[in-house]
């Protein structure tokens, strides 16, 4: 089989298997949108849960903007930001698990997604904390260094923990093995920055109302009455969290596709899936392939 025939086989028959074959940046952006469109209800629903908590915690974190600065309000703000970070990690993990199931053509359950991430929650948080320390070493090289260490230690770490079941140093080692060799980290960095820029632009276009509301509260702190400031903050938080719930699942799908892309390039994972499912497909494949294989 020639390389061209192999690629055509992956693309044609892979549509039935949902094979995670290597993709270019534009193709991956488009495929992520298509996967998100097909699974919008479940992915958006998963994102709404942390958005709900995020609205509450965001309001608590905004207390110092509305009330006199007191130690209790500062403590509540710090606690709210920690809880906001926690719910974001858990919610993003559920979206990653669901995206992995969708990419592999497997059924997705709302409860299953939450159970999958909750079962791995301890390993997820501890592994990310362990990876955080070598990541901050990149600060020694300023912006370029931190970007490098984020890619090396964090880019698809949650995917490895949740989809492969690895944790702690084994998961970090696995991540480095996927991302680092043969300048692969540079391609991952380009994909990561491009997708982040795309997400940021779309978020700003959709979530401008939330940002304006929060900014209005900050500017009018001395002149606006308390009920007005509270109303603006609530409206702003809801708008921003709904924007995140709409946008972040797309990024979760993109980064999960990037994870499978790395496995396909590094380990020929797409061919492994093809071989595992060959008997299932053999009765349905196009007859023309019978003569080319």
Q: Which pLDDT value is given to residue 40?
A: 94
- The pLDDT of 143-171, averaged and rounded, is 87
* Nearest in space to 186 (alpha carbons), one of 140, 155, 161, 160: 155
For the chain, the average pLDDT equals: 78
Residue 124 has pLDDT above 70, yes or no: yes
136-148: pLDDT as tens digits: 777 676 667 777 8
167 or 288, which is more confident? 167
pLDDT cut 70: percent of the chain above it: 70
Integer Cα distance of 33 and 29 in angstroms: 6
Average pLDDT score over residue span 275-284: 53
Query: Which stretch of 90-104, 237-251, 266-280 has the lowest confidence by average pLDDT?
Result: 266-280
Give the DSSP per-residue string, 199-255.
HHHHHHHHSHHHHHHHHHHHHTTTTS-HHHHHHHHHHHHHHHHHHHHHHHHHHHHHH
| pLDDT on residue 287 | 44
| pLDDT of 29 over the 60 cut | yes
The 10s digit of each residue's pLDDT in 248-260 is 999 999 999 999 9
Cα 21 from Cα 240, distance rounded (Å): 34
Against a cut of 0.85, is the pTM above it? no
Mean pLDDT (whole number) for 61-65: 63
Q: What's the rounded mean pLDDT across residues 129-158?
A: 81
Cα–Cα distance, 90 to 109 (Å, whole number):
16
Split at pLDDT 50, 70, 90, the class of 63 is: low
Percent of the chain with pLDDT over 90: 29
Closest CA to 124 of 114, 112, 134: 114
Q: How confident is the model at residue 104 (pLDDT cuts 50, 70, 90)?
A: confident
* C-alpha distance from residue 29 to each of 19, 41, 95, 163, 183 (Å): 16, 19, 17, 21, 21
Q: Tell me which of 136 and 284 has the higher pLDDT.
A: 136
């Amino acid at each position: 089989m020639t390389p061209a025939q192999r690629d055509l086989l992956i693309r044609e028959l892979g549509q039935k298997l949902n094979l995670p074959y290597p993709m270019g940046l534009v193709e991956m952006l488009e495929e992520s949108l298509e996967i998100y469109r097909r699974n919008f209800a479940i992915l958006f629903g998963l994102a709404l849960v942390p958005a709900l908590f995020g609205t509450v915690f965001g309001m608590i974190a905004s207390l110092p903007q509305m009330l006199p600065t007191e130690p209790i309000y500062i403590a509540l703000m710090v606690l709210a930001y920690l809880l906001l970070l926690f719910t974001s990690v858990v919610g993003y993990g559920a979206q990653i698990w669901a995206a992995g199931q969708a990419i592999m053509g497997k059924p997705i359950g709302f409860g299953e997604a939450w159970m999958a991430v909750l079962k791995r929650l301890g390993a997820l948080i501890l592994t990310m904390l362990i990876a955080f320390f070598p990541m901050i070493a990149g600060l020694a090289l300023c912006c370029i260094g931190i970007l490098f260490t984020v890619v090396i230690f964090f880019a698809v770490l949650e995917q490895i923990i949740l989809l492969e079941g690895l944790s702690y140093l084994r998961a970090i080692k696995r991540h480095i093995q996927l991302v680092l060799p043969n300048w692969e980290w540079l391609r991952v960095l380009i994909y990561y920055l491009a997708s982040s820029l795309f997400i940021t632009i779309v978020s700003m276009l959709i979530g401008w109302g939330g940002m304006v509301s929060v900014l209005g509260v900050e500017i009018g702190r001395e002149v606006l009455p308390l009920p007005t400031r509270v109303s603006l903050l609530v409206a702003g938080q809801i708008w921003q969290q709904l924007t995140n719930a709409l946008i972040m699942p797309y990024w979760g799908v993109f980064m999960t596709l990037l994870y499978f892309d790395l496995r396909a390039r590094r380990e020929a994972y797409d061919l492994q899936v093809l071989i595992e499912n060959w008997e299932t497909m053999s009765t349905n494949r196009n007859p023309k392939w019978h003569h080319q294989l």
